[in-house]
Amino acid sequence: MRAPKAFDPRRLDVAAFAKAGGHLDGCTPLRDLRRLAEAVLDDPAAEVPWTLDGNWRQPAGDEPQWRVHLKAAVTVHMTCQRCLETAPLALSVDRRLRFVMDEREAEALDEASEDEDVLVLPSRLQVAQLLEDELILTLPIVPRHDLCPNPLPVAADLLPADVSDAAAAGESAASDDPPQANPFAALAALKTARKPG
């Protein structure tokens, strides 16, 4: 018996992987996914578990169809744009990709297909790069809690302009610095204390 072919996620032969019905899984440190790590708050211990499965079909009289199915999940942290506290955000990827030989065919099929992306078969695929691209696509444009722990119903109107501006511009600073007491929290406490009942 031959040993099953080992597939290298750093330079994956997608066609062979799909045809063999291959399976890969791993746990990639978030810090290795540079562009994603830079978009979220620093979390040196975070890891992204993922699986990649391949499958292949050869319809009669048609071109072979190579497919992979990528699944991954990770919780990252971003600054909530409503309350400016750190918000945990659960990202998950469940993406089916089909590969074809020809770029024009890929474009036409991709437009026609709703449930899978169609790409040109790469000579080698870096799974980590695909993983990172797909996770970045799931990042919210405006990160925020589903339910803010310290809601600030009318804060924006009450704040002096300079504080609002600092808050709006403060996102990059917040990602470099450890969490600090924020001026909104004190205001919230004050307003809560003032409420009758």
- In the shown chain, the binding pattern of residues 145 to 164 toward Zn ion, with x for contact by CB under 5 A and - for none, equals x--x----------------
Nearest approach, Cβ of 75 to Zn ion (angstroms)?
Answer: 15
Nearer to Zn ion by Cβ, of 101 and 166: the residue is: 166
Please report where in the chains the tokens 């918000």 appear, as a residue.
Answer: 87
Contacts for 50 with CB less than 8 Å, ≥ 6 apart:
25, 26, 27, 28, 70, 71, 72, 93, 127, 131
DSSP E strand boundaries for 114-189: 117-120
Name the segment binding Zn ion (CB under 5 A); options: 24-32, 108-116, 144-152, 155-163: 144-152
Question: Which of 18, 1, 195 is CA-nearest to residue 122?
Answer: 18
According to CB under 5 A, which one of 22, 82, 89, 93 is a site residue for Zn ion?
A: 82
Q: Is residue 67 at the binding interface for Zn ion, with CB under 5 A as the rule?
A: no
> Which residues sit at the interface with Zn ion, rule CB under 5 A?
80, 82-83, 145, 148
